[in-house]
Structure 1
């Protein structure tokens, strides 16, 4: 090690009874090029590390076989290529495995733990890898049912937060984006650390965020960015930006096919819905109007697309829509179509969810 190096003991992970000191270079750059490097020192127990990691066991075996530097009466070893803040999280997990729990829906979690997951892989500590990856996965739904539950929870959260004249999304009156998962960092995390099951939900969430709503937007009140989900667009690479663009296009073009929501008897009757001079099927007219009302561009929640999963849910309330009243549609729906349209709307939501992988060009794994 550099004889002029500056050492700084970690405030919590420097144990007086430890039998080895591990030095990790700090990532902060010196004020001047000629300034000596700075290291964070961790005094720990070899046995603790060797029990968790065969890589550490081999490392200490090699170190014991050769002359080593001594610091504070015990061997000193430099951990090349590691970052002090990540190494501290790694050691904290080994000494206090139940303390490594992050706030639910914290948008910073993927960025905070990426470095220590890489260390877990480097030192072959699979339980730590699994624990940390699961922290991110827990914030993202992997099924439509989980997605619906999360959206219902978010809707209620927004209702409560916005009941006050000055919406309060976090205890310190932060932005909405500070209280919900952030999709870009989650996407990059999932792709690097092998949890593709969260990608459909993360890309769908991202698809509802326009490029103008960037994480770095001014958050001072009353800036509108405070009330919007935001994305770390600067982190998104070209390939994922193409996925986003393609998915937004497919979702924007999506419209339900009227005939798929009619009962078999009505669906086979002649009468195109858009051909002048032909008498269309009443049920077809009703369902066509239903989709026109719900897909009204003026009701869109985002400039990117209309959010088909939410719109199809809104369609389930066709009985409550004044545009579909008996005055406007005396025949309403036949008894068979009345049941058919409800259950096929539910099925269509499942189909749209399943299509997300294709629409965002995600690999099936």
Structure 2
């Protein structure tokens, strides 16, 4: 009796092998005289070996290895194929930068995706001249010096005096994550400080790119950087409190105070009353009542000084009866400058940033 259960007489089952889909020409970068096809994702870029080898040692090594196995090389349109694991959008931006340069790149919020692509791939492929150009532009927004930070802040303030950094600059969470990915630690202190001015809940919940619909990506800090941000925020808050206690509350008049010899008790206390009123205004605006800049100790300390000279008729802050004499004001300004310089120097330590060769 035949044993039908084993199906001994059935033919071997047909095995289907699915070949991977061929990549498509990239619409923006296919050069007719190119001699190498770079494949990334579902696209290939027909470009020139010589250009790649001139600017990138890692790509030079990869192309040499490819040429050593030329007999077995895969071809597209007669050109050898070098497969890369890069995002095709990033790779296109990188290649265009090699061919066209980066003079047209802006470093604002709108162009951040392009800047990020270029920094990632110029770091990966060691294209130092473009990487330096990109970093130079980024350091204008995320600077190493306090004076450059002040220019940056002024550029984010409109003609009406409203401070709107998020409409001008990329979100600091994006910058921190990119800096970690590309080992560009110079960007971190100012990016961490910028982020620390947000509410703690906003820092923890991350940043969702606006206008991206269902495809919006939520950007989060690593657990370590989240703790670094919150700790740094606490340090900055304590620094402001210490400044208020040491430099404003109960501040004595200077030796050269013009009111020191006044017989009228009110006039004798003009400078002391000024600093008391300044203390009140600083504490009143900790939550951004006036300038909508909460948790910003660098600004608050500077504003304590500016109150002595600014025309406050519009905002109704210190009036003319609460202005320190010039000698007292000059001495206080010196204290403000020292405090802000000290605070800026401490940012890397407060935010746990290591491997930073020098600061500022």
The TM-score, its normalising length taken from structure 2, stands at 0.71
1:58 deviates by 3.0
1:317 aligned to which of 307, 310, 328: 307
Pick from 63, 68, 76: which aligns with 1:65? 68
How far is 1:262 from its partner?
4.7
Q: CA contact under 8 A between 1:106 and 1:178: conserved in structure 2? A: yes
Distance across 1 between alignment mates of 2:155 and 2:116: 27
Q: Does 2:34 match 1:12?
A: no
- After TM superposition, the structure 1 = structure 2 runs for residues 28-39 of structure 1, keeping only pairs within 5 Å, are 39=42
Runs of 4 or more consecutive aligned structure 1 residues displaced over 6 Å after TM superposition: 217-220, 320-327
| Cross-structure match for 2:105 | 102
Q: Which aligned pairs between 1:278-293 and structure 2 lie closer than 5 A?
A: 286-293=274-281
Alignment-derived partner of residue 54 in structure 1: 57
1:104 counterpart SS class? coil
Partner residue of 1:192 out of 152, 175, 181: 181
User: Which residue of structure 1 aligns with residue 231 of structure 2?
Assistant: 246
Please list the CA deviations of residues 294-335 of structure 1 after superposition, one character each: whole Å capped at 9, or x if unmatched.
2225763599954222222222323667886686x7xx8577
Q: Distance in 2 between matches of 1:116 and 1:179?
A: 20
* Runs of at least 5 residues in structure 2 that lack an aligned partner in the other structure: 1-17, 257-268
Decide which of 331, 338, 354 is 2:345's aligned counterpart: 354
Local SS of the residue matching 1:21: strand
Q: 1:85 aligns with which of 83, 89, 94?
A: 89
From the CA coordinates, give the structure whose radius of gyration is larger: 2
**Given the alignment, which residue of 112, 115, 135 partners 1:133?**
135
Matches within 5 A, 1:110-129: 111-129=113-131
TM-score (norm 1): 0.70
- Aligned with 1:300 (options 257, 275, 288): 288
Q: How many Å separate the matches in 2 of 1:81 and 1:148?
A: 40
- Name stretches of at least 5 consecutive residues in structure 1 with no aligned partner: 27-38, 163-168, 170-175, 221-231, 267-280
Q: Which residue of 2 aligns with 1:216?
A: 208
What is the count of residue pairs matched by the alignment? 309
The CA RMSD over aligned residues, in Å, is 3.8
Native 8 Å contact 2:119 2:131 kept in 1? yes
Contact between 1:23 and 1:78, CA under 8 Å: does it hold in 2? yes
Specify the alignment match of 2:193 in structure 1: 204
SS at match of 1:41: strand
Q: Judge which range, 180-189 or 59-68, deviates more.
A: 59-68
How far the C-alpha of 1:252 sits from its partner, in A, is: 2.7
Q: Is the 8 A contact 1:22 1:41 kept in 2?
A: yes
Instruction: Quote how far apart the aligned CAs of 1:9 are.
Output: 0.4
Cα displacement (A) at 1:77: 1.3
Instruction: Confirm or deny that 1:148 pairs with 2:138.
Output: no
